[in-house]
Structure 1
């Protein structure tokens, strides 16, 4: 079984010899933020987790591939072993989180009704693509916006500002990939 973000953060923080207070100070967040994450009382957004990891310093990719002393990861992953890099409204389930030196990032994404990736447009190196498996999603890439339905797909350069929004009353499910991996 995979290790939750909360447990993973605690193990990594301790391996780096940092107290919760020291990590919070380095990351520019409150001590309570670190404590709540490690107690699994809050699920940090990707941007919040990135900010916390800046205090180590460590990228998201390093965080999810850091050797915690576990055995070699399997080539197969059960649905409950995919860590959620998002939150409850926008779930970003990462495939292969324990694989070192991944060349791509594959995610199974769930957008609950009227959820989105945030007011700030996303932007990072690489390319990404995906297929809508269920429901519909509004995707903005640069100045172009389109609503995709089940079976529709997208592919674009990730350095273009982009955003995902579920404007419907139903859950939307997307399977996506990006390369190089950003998490």
Structure 2
């Protein structure tokens, strides 16, 4: 996917200049310009922060307009919305009007959700399937392993990081879809 071109189209559709978007997202104008020209690839956390300023959920950013009647999804049909060392595979593509977002997540060793903590409206929960994941919510931090779970208000600043030596896999849910 042409992330830079898609960001430019979204920004222009909202009537925002690069400078306005940068100011709202708390980043430099040069960063927006470099992303739009595909000179740099933003982390998922950085892209989420930029899209929160639009506002637009990550799911909508990557949506391709699937048929609304789809009920079953094979493993190969999940929509990849991650980048770099983090894979977020979403059930469905267009979550417009939906109340729930389900992801299978995979963090490579040392990978994280981004330097800047995520923060948005709603709730999040997840269950670790394999590996270890450090979850930080506000001033609380825990390393979770297989079978462990988390559940919190997404309005709290939060961050995820694989602190183990092997990939970490989990299934998560977010309501409303905002990631």
TM-score (norm 2): 0.73
Secondary structure class of the residue paired with 2:133: strand
Match of 2:171 in 1: 175
Residue in 2 that maps onto 1:33? 35
Deviation at 1:108, TM superposition (A): 0.8
User: Closer, same or farther in 2 for the Cα pair 1:156/1:23, shift >3 Å?
Assistant: same
Gaps of 5+ in 2: 22-28
Higher mean Cα deviation, 134-143 or 90-99?
A: 90-99
- For structure 1, which runs of at least 5 residues remain unmatched after alignment? none
Of 120-129 and 168-177, deviating more is: 120-129
* Structure 2 residue matching 1:48: 3-state secondary structure: helix
> 2:86–2:107: 8 Å Cα contact kept in structure 1?
yes
Distance in 2 (CA, whole Å) between partners of 1:140 and 1:30 is 27
**C-alpha contact (below 8 Å) 2:138/2:157 kept by paired residues:** yes
5 Å matches for 1:25-174? 27=21, 28=29, 29=31, 31-36=33-38, 42=41, 45-48=44-47, 51=50, 57=54, 59-60=56-57, 61-65=59-63, 67=65, 71-72=67-68, 74-174=70-170
- Looking at structure 1, the residues matched to 116 and 45 of structure 2 have their Cα atoms a distance apart, in angstroms, of 13
Root mean square deviation of aligned Cα: 3.5
CA gap 1:131/1:84 in 2 versus in 1, 3 angstroms:
same
Q: TM-score, normalised by structure 1?
A: 0.72
Structure 2: how far apart are the matches of 1:99 and 1:73? 12
- Residue 58 of structure 1: CA displacement? 5.1
- SS of the equivalent of 2:38 reads helix
Q: How far 1:32 moved relative to its partner?
A: 4.9
